[in-house]
Structure 1
Amino acid sequence: MLPKRLNTSTFSLFTLALISGCSSLTSSQNNSTSVSSFYDYQIYTPQGDNISLSQWAENIQTADVILIGEWHTHAGIHRFQTDTLKQLIQNEQSVALSMEQFSRDNQPVVNSYLNDEIGEQTLIKQANAWPNYESDYRPLVELAKSNQLDIIAANAPKPMVRCISKHGLDYLAKLPQDKRAYVATNIDLGDSPYKQKFMASMHHGEPSQHLNMYASQLTWDTTMAESIVNYKHAHPKTTVVHVAGKFHTEGGLGTAAQIKQLDPSLNIVIVTPVDAITKNSHDYQLEVLSPPVRYIKPENQQAAFSELFKNSSEPDCS
């Protein structure tokens, strides 16, 4: 439970890297000259008009949920996330922060940190914070903490997600009730635009593995969506700002689609980072510099993946 602060074979990091980097980018002649470093950003409307941060906050004041997609570790995007949260606080808007980067089983640890019962290093260790927590997510968490905002540990536990990638959704039937509650109640693997997009991004392994990988991905999306909707139902006047990888949020698919299935009445606003602006986007567009190419030589990429698999510990899926 969240604190009442204002009355209110394996799935690995390889998959995370693959998913976050597989989305195609649109092209446009309307590039902003102000975006010249990885700290810079410029927000645009779906129609391709650039607006200020204060105008952006004004435009979205009726949103129930704000989904901000990211290229993980991108300084400009993380700066925008923090600036957005700060602007909403300054506008005296009731707001909560939801994060892909913490999972449901660690909600009590996050709560303890918000309540000053533990220090940051304890939070990082006990809540299995991402390696880039201190550089990229500390500003968000500390801003929320200093303003007594709730933080929703929205995701499914990574070991459980990896077991689903190995054994499929049948793995969930083995779990005791308390652990089963750490993932979404219903996970539908039926055909959808999101499933088509995911399958098109898979370039390695067998089709049966791809389906299990999709099941694990959808477990992420559906669990995050359910966590957000459950919070909204308990705090209907609070806007939830959720941060996650862009594949989870862009184009109204993934987590956004799952939120709509759970509660069609919710008004969802989506921000997607791009390196070029289009005139007809589903989402608000955040112009930033695109990340550098990860690998140029195939042998370097293969060596990195091999090292990643070698160092990945197998979860206990029994």
Structure 2
Amino acid sequence: MRIALLLLCLIAFAFRPDKPAYRLYSPELKSQTYAKLLRQANGADVVLFGELHNNPICHWLELQLTKDLQLAKKGTLILGAEMFEADNQTALTDYVTGRTTSKELAAQARLWPNFDTDYMPIASFAREQKIPFVATNVPRKYATLVARKGLSALDTLSAEAKRQMAPLPLTVDLTLPGYKAMLEMMGAHGGNDTKTDAHKANPEQAERSPAANFARAQAIKDATMAYFILQNLKPGQTLLHFNGDYHSKNFEGIVWYLRQQRPDIKVVTLSSVEMADPDKPKVESPNLANFILAIPADMTKTY
């Protein structure tokens, strides 16, 4: 009998009574509730949901937050997303206002391969509820141009093309930790003139390096998303924005550009992190986001 009881106790310790799909934490890694996230989001000007693109928990929670904010905001919610580029705004607007079908949207816009499973539920809810949806990202061909030739290449574009991005000339601070990490990462992966030691020894050469242009390509995306967020945000509204986690974590990227234009803007950020054990959170930075979405590392992926 004692052996049987001991085995039962061991099983109880080995298997938890609950297996949550996610946990929410504060920047100090204190447990938070979804209700608190919703309250803070409801009072914000901009909510930046930093997602992991292939994580189903992110996409599910994005949809739930959209639904609950729409109920709370009573018609003053706006959506925005990295996944739609500025030159596809007409196609997106036509869909959410009911003028076109999903097939027409797919034909007219450059949709991500996982759009149907991961973003269509949000777009369909926006259509049902008549929620404005902003295509905030720079067209990818222009970000690619910056990555290949630098920011000066944008000067050659037409006036129409320049209307699809943040106003030029663009200020990029490559000393910001996020962009600096990109430089170091590319150096660590074998770029001849982008190694960390080379950056320290020859900063002028580093400024002209492929790694620097790669970081600037990230910056034109961040700046453009911030620009179109502010262009479409009116007093009393909340704009819920979906973007890859790197674009807003550590309050950099989009956040930095938002605050360059509106220092007093109220921004709430959420950073998604996969962890071996969400009940014992560990993060790379002590100031990652207002809310940290901790997800089991073995969570099923959407692609």
Per the normalisation by structure 1, the TM-score is: 0.75
Does residue 189 (structure 1) correspond to residue 188 (structure 2)? The answer is no
Q: Deviation of residue 293 (structure 1)? A: 12
Does the CA-based 8 Å contact 2:55-2:299 persist in structure 1?
no
Q: Could you say what secondary structure the match of 2:155 adopts?
A: helix
For residues 34 and 41 of structure 1, what CA distance do their matches in structure 2 show? 11
* Residues 35 and 288 in structure 1, CA contact (< 8 A), matched pair in contact too: no
Aligned to 1:225: 226
- 5 Å-filtered alignment, 1:1-318, equals 34-35=18-19, 40-93=21-74, 94-186=76-168, 187-190=170-173, 191-202=175-186, 203-206=189-192, 207=194, 208-232=209-233, 235-274=234-273, 275=275, 276=278, 277=281, 281-283=287-289, 284-290=291-297
Determine helix, strand or coil for the equivalent of 2:236: coil
Distance 1:264 1:72 in 2: 29
Q: CA contact under 8 A between 1:69 and 1:247: conserved in structure 2?
A: yes
**How big is each residue's C-alpha offset from its partner over 1:72-124, in whole Å with a ceiling of 9 and x where there is no partner?**
12000111111111111122352111100001111011111112221112212
Q: Which residue identity lines up with residue 46 of structure 1 in the other structure?
A: P
Aligned partners of 2:17, 2:121: CA distance in 1, in Å?
27
1:26-52 alpha-carbon deviations (Å, 9 max, x no partner) = xxxxxx98555xxx2222222333333
The separation in 2 between residues aligned to 1:56 and 1:129, in whole angstroms, is 29
Match of 1:78, SS state, is helix
> Matches of 1:226 and 1:60 in 2, distance apart?
20
Aligned length: 258
Structure 1 residues 104, 291: closer, same or farther in 2, change over 3 A? farther
- Which consecutive segments of 4 or more residues in structure 1 shift more than 6 A? 291-294
- C-alpha deviation, 1:53, in angstroms: 2.2
TM-score relative to the length of structure 2: 0.79
**Structure 2 residue matching 1:89: 3-state secondary structure:** helix
Amino acid aligned to 2:164: Y
Shift of residue 291 of structure 1? 6.2
Letter in 2 for 1:189: V
Change (3 A) 1:92 1:254: closer
Letter in 2 for 1:74: N
- For residue 152 of structure 1, give the secondary structure of its aligned residue in structure 2: strand
Change (3 A) 1:246 1:35: farther
Q: Mark the runs of 5 or more structure 2 residues left unpaired by the alignment.
A: 1-15, 195-208
> Which moved further from structure 2: 138-147 or 149-158?
138-147
Is 252-261 or 179-188 further displaced after alignment? 179-188
2:6 corresponds in structure 1 to none
Classify the secondary structure of the residue corresponding to 1:196: helix
Q: CA RMSD in A?
A: 2.2
Question: Partners of 1:257 and 1:230 in 2: how far apart?
Answer: 16
Residue type at the aligned position of 1:161: A
User: How far off its partner does 1:249 sit?
Assistant: 0.8
Question: Would the alpha carbon gap of residues 33 and 249 (structure 1) be closer, same or farther in structure 2, given more than 3 Å must change?
Answer: farther
Greater Rg, structure 1 or structure 2? 2
Question: Does the Cα contact within 8 Å between 2:138 and 2:220 map onto a contact in 1?
Answer: yes
Contact 2:55 2:300 in 1 (8 A): no
Whole-angstrom CA distance in 2 between matches of 1:293 and 1:143 = 24
